[in-house]
A and B are shown apart, each in its own frame.
Chain A
Amino acid sequence: MANTKRIQPSVQPVAKRVKNFTEVAMGFSKARAALECQRCPQCSQPECVKACPLGIDIPGFIRMIREGNFSNALQKIRESNSLAGICGRACSAPCEVACILNREKNPQPMAIQGLERAAFDFGNIKFQEIFNAQRTNKTGKKVAIIGSGAAGLMTGANLFEDGHEVMIFEALNKAGGFLQYGIPEFRLPKKVLDAELEYIASLGVQIKFNIMVGQAETIQQLFEEGFDAVLLATGLCFGQGNELPGSEASGVLTSQEFLFRINFLSAHLHPKFAATLPAGKTAAIIGAGPDAIDCARLALRLGKKTILIHPSTEDDVSAAVSDRFQAQEEGVQMEVLTKPLEVIQDDQGAVKGVRCVRMDFADSNGQWKLMPVKGSEFIVDADMVIACGPYTANTAVIAFTPGLTIQKQNFLCAKKDRYATSFKGVFAAGGMARGPVSLIETLAQGKAVADEIDQYLQESPKDKT
Chain B
Amino acid sequence: MSHFQILSKQIIAQNIKRMDIAAPEIAKSARPGQFVLIMADVWSLRLFFPVVETNPPKGTIAIVFKEESPSEKKLGNLPIGHNLDVVMGPLGNPALPDAIGTSVCIGYELGIARMVPVSRYLQRLGNKNFGILGTATKRHLVMESQMRLSCQRIFVMSEDGSVGKKGFITDALSDVLVHYPVDQIFMAVPSKIVREVLRLVQEKRIKVKAVLAPFALSGIGFCGTDEIKVNKGYVSLLTEGPIFDAQLIDFDIYEERLARSHG
**Nearest Cβ distance between residue B8 and chain A, in whole angstroms?**
22
Question: Contacts A173-B85, A274-B45, A399-B93 known; A257 to B39 CB distance under 8 Å?
Answer: no
Which A residues lie within 8 Å of B39 (CB)?
173
B86 and A257 contacting across the interface, CB-CB below 8 Å:
no
Q: Is the interface of A mostly helix, strand, loop or mixed?
A: loop
Q: Is the interface of B mostly helix, strand, loop or mixed?
A: mixed
Which A residues lie within 8 Å of B217 (CB)?
257, 260-261, 265
Question: Contacts A216-B25, A216-B26, A274-B71 known; A171 to B225 CB distance under 8 Å?
Answer: no
Restricting to A192-218, which residues have a CB under 8 Å from any CB of B? 210-212, 215-216
B180 interface contact, C-beta 8 A: no
Question: Contacts A215-B91, A216-B90, A276-B263 known; A256 to B69 CB distance under 8 Å?
Answer: no
A248 and B253 contacting across the interface, CB-CB below 8 Å:
yes
A399 and B240 contacting across the interface, CB-CB below 8 Å:
yes
Question: How many of B's residues come within 8 Å of A, CB to CB?
Answer: 42
A181 to B90 Cα, complex, angstroms: 23
A240 and B224 contacting across the interface, CB-CB below 8 Å:
yes
B70 interface contact, C-beta 8 A: yes
Binary CB contact string for chain B from 194 to 221 against chain A (1 if under 8 A, 0 otherwise): 0000000000000000000000011111
Binds B, one of A97-105, A230-238, A323-331: A230-238
Which B residues lie within 8 Å of A276 (CB)?
263
Question: Contacts A211-B88, A256-B222, A261-B217 known; A395 to B45 CB distance under 8 Å?
Answer: no
Contact among B26, B46, B85, B223 with A237 in the assembled complex (CB-CB below 8 Å): B223
A266 to B44 Cα, complex, angstroms: 10
B236 and A254 contacting across the interface, CB-CB below 8 Å:
no
Which A residues lie within 8 Å of B29 (CB)?
216
Which A residues lie within 8 Å of B50 (CB)?
none
Which B residues lie within 8 Å of A265 (CB)?
45-46, 217
B239 and A235 contacting across the interface, CB-CB below 8 Å:
no
Which A residues lie within 8 Å of B25 (CB)?
216
Which B residues lie within 8 Å of A275 (CB)?
45, 263
A257 and B71 contacting across the interface, CB-CB below 8 Å:
no
**Nearest Cβ distance between residue B36 and chain A, in whole angstroms?**
10
A400 interface contact, C-beta 8 A: yes
**Most B C-beta atoms less than 10 A away, residue of A172, A261, A396:** A396
A400 to B31 Cα, complex, angstroms: 14
A396 and B234 contacting across the interface, CB-CB below 8 Å:
no
A274 and B70 contacting across the interface, CB-CB below 8 Å:
yes
Question: Contacts A173-B39, A274-B71 known; A394 to B91 CB distance under 8 Å?
Answer: no
Nearest CB in chain B to that of A256: its residue: B223
B221 and A396 contacting across the interface, CB-CB below 8 Å:
yes
Which A residues lie within 8 Å of B221 (CB)?
237, 394-396
B260 and A250 contacting across the interface, CB-CB below 8 Å:
yes
B87 interface contact, C-beta 8 A: yes
A171 to B37 Cα, complex, angstroms: 11
A394 to B224 Cα, complex, angstroms: 10
A274 to B69 Cα, complex, angstroms: 9
A223 to B222 Cα, complex, angstroms: 25
Which A residues lie within 8 Å of B71 (CB)?
274
B44 and A274 contacting across the interface, CB-CB below 8 Å:
yes
Binary CB contact string for chain A from 345 to 359 against chain B (1 if under 8 A, 0 otherwise): 000010000000000
A399 to B226 Cα, complex, angstroms: 15
Which B residues lie within 8 Å of A235 (CB)?
222
Which B residues lie within 8 Å of A368 (CB)?
none
B223 and A257 contacting across the interface, CB-CB below 8 Å:
yes
B225 and A257 contacting across the interface, CB-CB below 8 Å:
yes
A234 to B238 Cα, complex, angstroms: 15
A272 interface contact, C-beta 8 A: yes
B263 and A274 contacting across the interface, CB-CB below 8 Å:
yes
Nearest CB in chain A to that of B253: its residue: A248
Contact among B85, B220, B224 with A171 in the assembled complex (CB-CB below 8 Å): B220
A271 to B89 Cα, complex, angstroms: 28
A122 interface contact, C-beta 8 A: no
A241 interface contact, C-beta 8 A: yes
B222 and A238 contacting across the interface, CB-CB below 8 Å:
yes
Chain A residues within 8 Å of B, Cβ to Cβ:
171-173, 181, 210-212, 215-216, 234-238, 240-241, 248, 250, 254, 256-257, 260-261, 264-266, 271-276, 278, 349, 394-396, 399-400
- Across the A-B interface, the 5 shortest Cβ-Cβ residue pairs: A238-B224, A396-B221, A240-B234, A276-B263, A256-B223
Q: List 12 A-B contacts (CB under 8 A).
A: A181-B218, A212-B219, A250-B256, A256-B222, A257-B223, A260-B217, A273-B43, A394-B221, A395-B236, A396-B236, A396-B239, A399-B240
Besides the known contacts A394-B221, A395-B221, 12 further A-B residue pairs in the complex with CB atoms under 8 A apart: A173-B39, A211-B88, A215-B92, A216-B88, A238-B224, A248-B253, A248-B256, A265-B217, A271-B70, A274-B44, A396-B222, A400-B239
